[in-house]
A and B are shown apart, each in its own frame.
Chain A
Amino acid sequence: MISTISFALLLVSLTVQAVYLFRKDGAKDPVSNWLALGAGILLLAEIIRRSVAIRFIALTGMFESLVFLACLVSILVFALRYLRSLRAERAIAFGATALAVVFLALASSPLAPADIKPPVPALQSGWLILHVSFTFIGEVFFAAGFVSAVLQLATRNEEKRKNYDRLAYTSIAIGYPIFTAGALVFGAVWAQKAWGIWWSWDPKETWALITWLTYTAYLHFRLVRKNTSKVMPLLVIAGFLIAMFTFFGVNFLLSGLHSYA
């Protein structure tokens, strides 16, 4: 129920943003970011409600992960207007809101059963909270980078292209250390604590590494190519698509140690 209300709020926010997107005076609408914040708070409340029910942080299943991801993106949509380095074109907030809507639509699909289930022993670890939350927060910034990179490729206005390039780089530069901490460092520490091995080339681990390598290649590529070539936005787009494959595709297509995730 809560996630349905959040979904409705995000849809209204998306519609309002779409209307203002075509206004030529550049005016910003007064409500869409507040609607996104409302959706984010409700989704957070849903995570808290489920956490109380299972007496553990409710981040152990596909439904909960999607709700958490949509919650973070909604909060980012609100914050985009106030964070100086990320303050941007309305199109970025629009793209991010659309992503949050997609995450919630997936959460309501049969792919993500919404049953509330307490965690099995393997998932009862404080490292799970650090591993999952940092990974998703990093991915939210990758999402902002993805939207910026798509717009960078789509626009023909040189000034806008440079602005989108700067925004994509800023998003990745913020998301990269957070993702590194969550997906790789905390993941490896937890694997060591749970299974006695830091790294086992499990499909989820391998694809998380591919995501990290793609963004690492992007950040190094920027050091050698100062201009805004098309390779850079393509790498940012590829990185986010790989991150999403790591999240969804690996769960459904490849079995491994993370099969319960």
Chain B
Amino acid sequence: MKRFSDTVYDALRSVKLATVLIVLIAVFAVAGGIIPQGRDESFYLHKFPGAPARIILALDLDGIFSGMPFLLLATLFTTNLTVCSFHRFTKELKKPRGNRRHGPDILHIGLLVFIFGGLLTARTRSETLIYLGKGQEARLPEGSSIVLMDLREERYPDGRPKSWESAISIDEKESTIKVNSPLRYKGYTIYQQDWKSAQHAVFEDAAGMRLSLDQGAKAKMAEGSVFFMTIEKGAPTEIGTDEYANAEAVFLLENDSGRKILRARKGDAIGLFTFAGFEEEAISGLKIVRDKGFPLVAAGLALVLLGTFLTYIRKLKGMLA
């Protein structure tokens, strides 16, 4: 009579179980592919009004791939894959060397390495988005300094972006980061993620001294302080006019007599200064990623690739014969 442990082992290494689990994972993926994932509750109430929204929210179908049912299924699949790989690999080793076929073993082990790498990534990956203007500096958590030396933007004649590049100095070594060409440095990877322009409010005093203020920043003046709150864009007066030519800057002025909100256009006086208009500055958005699972995931994918081709190489050879 079969021992209980043998029964469990046979069940867990079963190809039938693997097939059922693959189909179930596909069913979950279909649900995740149809229902938008990770949106606000209000999105589902609006998009799927009534009972469907209540069902989606009650069964956590808005976050299928991080929900308990899918994670349990993935755990069972990983267990099945592990036992199946071990069983198959040891069985192959008992065969004469020339008769062994290790393609499926490499493929399955690659999937396991990929899964464990993915878990490590999920637990340890960190991501930070920083925005730097030319000459501005940021620091990595371990102390390295990144300074944005230059930004280069090219556009096609139809106005679509052609290239975004940031020339940076990291610990005084110069490098260029482009979209699709990140920089790896001391365990971090820095990506060219975003590109935008920011408007600064510029003030001039009677002596011609200029003061530039970022949106959301505060400056002290002799008679108090000024906080640059926002920009209210006016309608362009004619086609092709700069959208900021007619805009108003909204400031919060603070002094001994209290607080006051002031809307100013180019040429308006603010205390002893004159508001001289807006100045545009290009800003580079750099994404800084640290991912300890990177080598495992990369190795897992390489093994999956190798294993899949080795498994079906006979068919490929047969096709070309």
Q: Tell me if chain B binds chain A.
A: yes
Which residues of A are interface residues toward B (Cβ below 8 A)? Answer: 83-86, 117-118, 120-122, 124-125, 127, 170, 173-174, 176-177, 180-181, 184-185, 188-189, 192-199, 201, 203, 206-207, 209-210, 213-214, 216-217, 220-221, 223-224, 254
**Complex interface: stretch among B14-22, B47-55, B238-246, B271-279:** B14-22
Q: Given A170-B315, A223-B15, do A185 and B65 touch, yes or no (CB 8 Å)?
A: no
Query: In this complex, what residue of A is CB-closest to B294?
Result: A192
- Most chain A CB neighbours (cut-off 10 Å) among B22, B287, B294, B316: B22
Contact present for B37 and A177 (CB under 8 Å): no
Contact present for A201 and B65 (CB under 8 Å): yes
CB distance from B185 to the nearest CB of A (A): 14
Q: Given A177-B308, A210-B33, A214-B26, do A118 and B162 touch, yes or no (CB 8 Å)?
A: yes
Query: In this complex, what residue of A is CB-closest to B165?
Result: A121
Provide the residues of chain A in CB contact with B219, threshold 8 Å.
none
Q: Given A177-B308, A214-B26, A220-B19, do A120 and B160 touch, yes or no (CB 8 Å)?
A: yes
C-alpha gap A207/B182 in the complex (Å): 27
What 0/1 pattern do residues 19 to 50 of B give for CB contact below 8 A with A? Answer: 10011011001101100110000000000000
Query: In this complex, what residue of A is CB-closest to B34?
Result: A254
Contact present for A185 and B179 (CB under 8 Å): no
CB-contact partner of B25 in A127, A181, A185, A213, under 8 A = A213
Q: Given A120-B160, A125-B180, A198-B297, do A174 and B312 touch, yes or no (CB 8 Å)?
A: yes
Contact present for B127 and A198 (CB under 8 Å): no
A-B CB proximity, top 6 nearest: A121-B179, A213-B26, A173-B315, A177-B308, A206-B33, A85-B318
Contact present for B301 and A188 (CB under 8 Å): yes
Contact present for A85 and B182 (CB under 8 Å): no
Contact present for B127 and A177 (CB under 8 Å): no
C-alpha gap A118/B156 in the complex (Å): 8
Contact present for B179 and A177 (CB under 8 Å): no
C-alpha gap A176/B311 in the complex (Å): 10
C-alpha gap A223/B311 in the complex (Å): 13
Q: B147 on the interface (CB 8 Å rule)?
A: no
Known: A170-B318, A177-B311. 15 other contacts (CB 8 A): A84-B318, A117-B160, A174-B316, A174-B319, A189-B301, A194-B191, A196-B291, A197-B289, A206-B32, A207-B33, A216-B22, A217-B19, A217-B26, A220-B19, A224-B15
Q: Given A176-B308, A214-B26, do A196 and B19 touch, yes or no (CB 8 Å)?
A: no
C-alpha gap A81/B31 in the complex (Å): 41
Chain B positions 269-320 with a Cβ under 8 Å from a chain A Cβ: 287, 289, 291, 294, 297-298, 301, 304-305, 308-309, 311-312, 315-316, 318-320
A-B contact pairs, 20 of them (CB 8 A): A84-B321, A120-B161, A124-B180, A125-B180, A127-B180, A170-B319, A174-B315, A181-B308, A184-B304, A194-B191, A196-B189, A196-B191, A196-B193, A196-B287, A207-B33, A209-B29, A213-B26, A217-B19, A224-B15, A224-B19
SS of B interface (majority): helix
Provide the residues of chain B in CB contact with A213, threshold 8 Å.
22-23, 25-26, 29
C-alpha gap A97/B321 in the complex (Å): 24
Q: B164 on the interface (CB 8 Å rule)?
A: yes
Provide the residues of chain B in CB contact with A184, threshold 8 Å.
304
SS of A interface (majority): helix
CB distance from B257 to the nearest CB of A (A): 51
Contact present for A206 and B312 (CB under 8 Å): no
CB distance from A112 to the nearest CB of B (A): 19
Contact present for B180 and A122 (CB under 8 Å): yes
C-alpha gap A173/B311 in the complex (Å): 9
C-alpha gap A122/B318 in the complex (Å): 38
- Most chain B CB neighbours (cut-off 10 Å) among A174, A196, A201, A214: A196
Provide the residues of chain A in CB contact with B289, threshold 8 Å.
196-197
Provide the residues of chain A in CB contact with B25, threshold 8 Å.
213
Provide the residues of chain B in CB contact with A201, threshold 8 Å.
32, 37, 65
